[in-house]
Every structure is written in structure tokens, then in C-alpha cells.
Structure 1
Amino acid sequence: MHRMKPLPSFLLQRYQGWKATTYAENGAWYKRLATEGQRPRAMVISCCDSRVNVTSIFGADQGEFFIHRNIANLVPPFEPDGEHHGTSAAVEYAVNVLQVAHLVVLGHSRCGGVQGCLDMCEGRAPELEEKGSFVGRWMDILRPKFPEVADLATPEDKAERLEQLAVITSMENLMTFPFVEARVNDGSLSIHGLWTDIAEGGLKQFMGKTLDFQPV
């Protein structure tokens, strides 16, 4: 632990600026959040990508969303094997403890994780094939969808479609959790799939009736 270092100055300056402005102007709201606890209406599962800012996209205030981020916004299948499952734990907490009404999976364009899956499936990323690659083994969740994009015309088409299939995969896997399925069936929980274009600021949602993504 002796090798741990203090925060870099730019982070300290930004914190001090936030404390002096945003917090100072909304101190009562932050204190209320602390004393009354969180009551988010939705859980958003999004990518770790720094270009995807969930709260900015939806204009959300602190306390509105329960947000979980991971590589390529993937949800693994329900697997109660006693091992560590960060994403599954977040889903369990959101659904069973916080009683959120919505589960939102948000994918995005130019996703590095999805590109890694493509590279792995097409033989360009042997390092991801190694057993010790955390990214590679995580992207194995998406790998079964590769045949659906293998014959598309361009690399861009493949990437965009696989990004959207990552959202679909997560929605499918969410329904393997018994407590999610039960609440979806009784109407107290809904699942939503979204894909955003970083460059254009566009947003598409998965439509259950047509089984495709359409602009909102």
C-alpha cells in the first residue's frame, strides 16, 4: 500500500470546484439523499467507455439512476455458482432491494469491447483468446452472436450490428434471472434496449414487435 499516491491535482481542483458550486447550491438535496436513501426509478447498464455519459444523455439528477458499467454493457446469464459476479449482484440489488421499475441496457457506437469480440472471432486478437484475458473471457458472452454478422458487407456494418446484438444479448440474459422474469411477468418491471451513436448524438430503441432498433 505504500506505493499508493495522492490524487492528481486536476482531480482535486475539479472536486473543489464542484464542492464550491454545484454542492453549495444544492446542499439540501444531497443531505436529503443521504438521510432518506436512494429511490432510483431505473437501473441503467452501460459500457465503461468514457464517451458514454448516461446522466447527460437523459438529463438525470443525482439519485435518479442506479448505474452499472462494464465492458460492452453485457449481462451474463444467471449462474448462481458461488463465484464473484459483479454485474449479476448489481442486477439483484436493483431489482430486489431498490425495486426499480425499469432495466435499461445502453449500447453505443465505436465500442472497443465489441470490436475486440469481432477481432477475436475473426482471428486478429490471439491475446484475447488466452485463458488469462479477462476481456476475452468477458466477450465470450457475446461471441455466440458473431455468426449473425459474419457475412455483412463492411467492417462498419459488422461492428454496429454486433453492438446492437450486445444489447439484445443482455436483455435475453436478464430474463434468465428468476427474480427479473417474475417481475416482468407481473408487470412491475420492464426491460429496455437502447443504442446511441456517439458522433451524431442519436438514440435508437429496440422494438419488441419488429425486433429491430428504431430512432426514438
Structure 2
Amino acid sequence: MKIARPLPDYLVRRYHGWKATSYAENSAWYKRLAEGGQHPRAMVISCCDSRVHVTSIFGADQGEFFIHRNIANLVPQCKPDGEQHGTSAALEYAVTALKVAHVIVLGHSGCGGVQGCHDMCSGAAPQLEAQSSFVGRWMDILRPEYDNLPKADLPTRLRAFEKASVVRSLFNLMTFPFVAEAVDSGVLTLHGLWNDIGEGTLEQYDTETGDFKLV
């Protein structure tokens, strides 16, 4: 059974273009990264959305960020129940093995996962309620925030929900003992950000006021 096929031609051409330019101009740096291992300063938990380009936003180089993507940039609560937890495993590796100094949760505008959770909670997406829905069960992490949304128009509610996904993840991060210990000892800081894709703006969560403010 054929389970994999050759890359599309346009991706092959792009690869060869990168190898002949960016890689060729920085080959020594790539070799150093390969031989020396990775030593990222921060872990970024962002959405799978293809429009969220973490390295471009921060002008980051290879080896600078340990990036984990999932639907709606969510972090589950710490529940070592024997199930497979990709996000929890990535977090554990970043904090305990790589010793990152920062964990950044990056939300964004127009998040399809957050929209899906809103539809599910409002009864508009019964398919996501099915136990067999991977997306629906993942978005259960955010479901508790639905009742706290403002009584407003849909765009306002969705924007609030997107930011709630960041805050929910920040609180869930602290349920992991190794995260809480690192934060309490001062070797790790947590950060919550929200990016407006169209405007290019970045807002950060202020724990004192409970609001997001422009960076």
C-alpha cells in the first residue's frame, strides 16, 4: 500500500531555491546548530493556523524558539492519565530538558478553532459534540470560558473568546508541577499574547488588570 507520494513540484522547487540561497549563505550556522544541539531561550505555544508566522513576528533565527502548534493554542490541565498528550509532552521537554526561560502562549484573530468552540457551545455545530470528534474534545479545554463571554455581537464575542483561550492556557500551565516550581523559583516566566493578523498588532495579557494591552 502506497502511503506516501513524492512532494509536489512547487515544494521541490522552493526547497532547491532555499538550499541554493539561504542555506548556502549561512551553511556554517546550520552546521553549528546541527552539531551543538538546540538551546532555545523560549517556548512558543501557538495555533496551527498557517497565517500565524511566529518567527517572522519576532524576527527569530533558527534555534531561537522551541515552537509547539495546536488547534487554538491551548494548553490542557496536567492530567497524567496514561493517554497521549502531545502538548504536555512538548511542555515537559521544553521546561525540564531544554530549560527555556520563557513560555509564551500566542493567540490570534480569526481563529477557526475558537470559532468552532463557540459554534459547539451555542449548539450550531452538533458534529463537534460527538465523542469521536478530535477537534471537539480538544476544544473542551476552552468550553468553560464560553459562559463568561460578553453579551455582545458575534465579532466581539469571538475576539474575547480568542483572548480567553490564551488566559485559560496560562492558568492551565500552572497546573503542571514542573512549570509551577520553575515559575516560583524565578527561572521561568509565562507570557500571554494575542496577534491581530490583519493589523499586525500584538497585545499582551496584564495579570494586574486582567486585560490585554498593546505591546
Q: TM-score, normalised by structure 1?
A: 0.98
Summarize the alignment of residues 2-13 of structure 1 with structure 2, pairs less than 5 Å apart: 2-13=2-13
Q: Does 1:176 align with 2:172?
A: no
- SS of residue matched to 1:200: coil
- C-alpha distance in 2, partners of 1:39/1:65? 9
The residue type equivalent to 1:24 in the other structure is A
Deviation at 1:83, TM superposition (A): 1.2
State the alpha-carbon separation in 1 of the partners of residues 19 and 82 from structure 2. 41
SS in 1 for 2:105: strand
Q: Which runs of 5+ in 1 are unaligned?
A: none
Instruction: Show the counterpart of 1:166.
Output: 165
The residue identity in structure 2 corresponding to 1:176 is T
In the alignment, is residue 137 of structure 1 matched against residue 137 of structure 2?
yes
For 2:213, the aligned partner's letter is: Q
How far does residue 129 in structure 1 lie from its aligned partner after superposition? 0.5
SS in 1 for 2:104: strand
- Paired with 2:32 and 2:142, the residues of 1 have a C-alpha distance of 41
Residues 143-154 of structure 1 aligned to structure 2 (within 5 Å): 143-149=143-149, 151-154=150-153
Q: How many residues align?
A: 215
- Distance (Å, rounded) in 1 between the aligned partners of 2:151 and 2:47: 24
Aligned residue in 2 for 1:115: 115
2:61 matched residue in structure 1: 61
Alpha-carbon offset, residue 208 of structure 1: 1.2
Alignment RMSD (CA, Å): 0.7
Q: Which residue of 2 aligns with 1:200?
A: 199
Q: How does 1:64-79 map to 2 (within 5 A)?
A: 64-79=64-79
Please, what TM-score do these two structures have when normalized by structure 2?
0.99
Q: CA deviation at 1:115?
A: 0.2
Structure 1 segments of 4+ aligned residues over 3 angstroms from their partners: none
* Corresponding residue SS for 1:66: strand
**Separation in structure 2 between the aligned mates of residue 172 and residue 160 of structure 1, nearest angstrom:** 19
Write the letter of the residue equivalent to 2:28: A
* Amino acid in structure 2 at the alignment position of 1:64: E
- Structure 2: gaps spanning 5 or more residues: none
Give the direction of change, closer, same or farther, for the CA distance of 1:38–1:3 in structure 2 (3 Å limit): closer
Identity %: 65
| 1:211 counterpart letter in structure 2 | G
What is the CA–CA distance in structure 1 between the aligned matches of 2:121 and 2:2, rounded to whole Å?
41
| Amino acid in structure 1 at the alignment position of 2:10 | F
Query: Is 2:65 aligned against 1:87?
Result: no
Distance between the aligned counterparts of 1:107 and 1:152, measured in 2?
22
Deviation, structure 1 residue 143: 0.1
Deviation at 1:3, TM superposition (A): 4.0
Measured against aligned partners, the alpha-carbon deviations of 1:52-87 in whole angstroms (never above 9, x if no partner) come to 000000000000000000000000000111110000
Partner of 1:45: 45
Cα deviation digits, residues 101-159 of structure 1 (max 9, x gap): 0000000000000000000011100110111000000000000000111x421000110
Distance 2:103 2:4 in 1: 37
Instruction: Tell me the CA shift for residue 180 of structure 1.
Output: 0.2
Distance 2:180 2:54 in 1: 25
